[in-house]
Amino acid sequence: MLNRYLCLILLAAMLAPTALGQSGQKRESPTPQKQDDDKVTVFTEEVRLPVLAVDQFGHYDPTVVPEDILVLEDGVAQQIKSVRRIPANVLLVLDTGGELSGLGGMSKRTSLTREVALEFLNRLREDTWVEVVQFNNSVSVVQGWTRDRPATIKALKSKLSSGKRARFADAVAAAGQQLQDRPEGSRHVIFITDGVDSPGGKIDRGQALKQLAAARATVHIISYTEFVLQPQPKQSESKIRQVPASHDPIATMDPTQPPGTTRSPAYVIKSITFDPAMKRQRKAYEADVKSSEQALTAMAEETGGQIFLPKTSDEMIAQAREAAREVGAEYVVTYRPKRPLSAAQKGEYRHVEVASRRVGLSLRSRRGYVVPVQ
């Protein structure tokens, strides 16, 4: 019995280190870590594509399913994983600088920009996240990211200020930075601007546009470019008007009477500015505006957004409502590219086309994207 008992003790002692060794091996094995890495890779391989979906009447279509959408990446059909709507993240960028109320045309006005922004804001869904940025002599945040609509309205009414310069390129770069931490696929930028840049900014315009493109946001522009090219309303009366003389003989000879009431009728000439330098400045500005409109249009179309070109104040406000409807009609389409993102070269651009498989459904999305750095 003693020998048998000693044999059992010896067998237990021999097995104990083996079990510990196996346990330690499991803890030190890289296999579980590799599985975790694989999960992360699958997540980063997904493309989240914002897609605007409206019915035949131009209204948001709430019934879209994956089978309704065809996505081509570099000409290859992709397998859609999900189609869903998530709360939008809207960065409102307001141009409050560089007002030029010179000869022969209309001008940007901070008061009108504020009115358009308020109309846009009041038309957004309640679950929308909003941040407001203004740019004039510099770029500043008027209201940080929030769903608190009254707080944002209060900031728009009390914190906007005008400046002589318009740092558009700086504002574009700032927009890209402000969107980095927002959920991808739901990023929107709304510019209310003429897109004209004052000299002396901190960043090159081309570089700023690249930074915004890297944010993969949908860009809508309520543009001043057509508005400022409209002629100023004509005066209903002549610039030279006659002021009738008084028929009172005493008042007629009274030198203390106001001008135009003594002796003979007075002729009052309205204030007219004859400033060649201002005319040249206005002409140069109009040339910049025409060039800017082309660049703004390209930026909006590339990102799947839209540029609005109102000619009057009423049109600007109406198109602010249209821009809000565009934001509210967007889905996020998710797919895993058939050609892995990890196989892409640095800075590689992939073309994207989106088409509807259902009659009566209209879709619009960005034209492509730059593969993010892994």
Query: What pLDDT, in 10s, does the model give residues 273-326?
Result: 556 777 888 888 999 999 999 999 999 999 999 999 999 999 999 999 999 999
| Residue 11: inside a domain | no
pLDDT of residue 107: 87
Residues 207 and 264 in one domain: no
> Does residue 21 lie within any of the structural domains?
no
* pLDDT at residue 253 in the model: 55
Residue 259: which domain range?
240-269
Kindly provide the residue ranges of all beta strands, DSSP E only, lying in the chain, ordered along the sequence.
Answer: 47-54, 69-73, 76-77, 80-84, 89-95, 129-135, 139-146, 187-193, 218-223, 240-243, 266-269, 307-308, 330-335, 349-356, 362-365, 368-370
CA distance 15 to 35: 30
- How far apart (Å, rounded) are the C-alpha atoms in residues 107 and 99? 6
Q: Hey, is 332 helix, strand or coil?
A: strand
Residue-wise pLDDT for 228-284, tens only, equals 999 877 655 444 455 454 455 555 555 555 555 555 554 444 555 556 777 888 888
| Total structural domains within the chain | 2
Q: Are residues 58 and 98 in the same domain?
A: yes
Residues 160, 189, single domain; the answer is yes
Are 220 and 160 within one domain?
yes
Whether 327 and 214 map to the same domain: the answer is yes
Could you tell me the pTM of the whole model?
0.77
Same domain, 207 and 326: yes
Same domain, 100 and 184: yes
Residues 250, 110 share a domain: no
Q: Give yes or no: residues 72 and 102 share one domain.
A: yes
Residue 62 lies in a domain: yes
- Rounded to whole angstroms, the Cα distance separating 55 from 235 reads 45
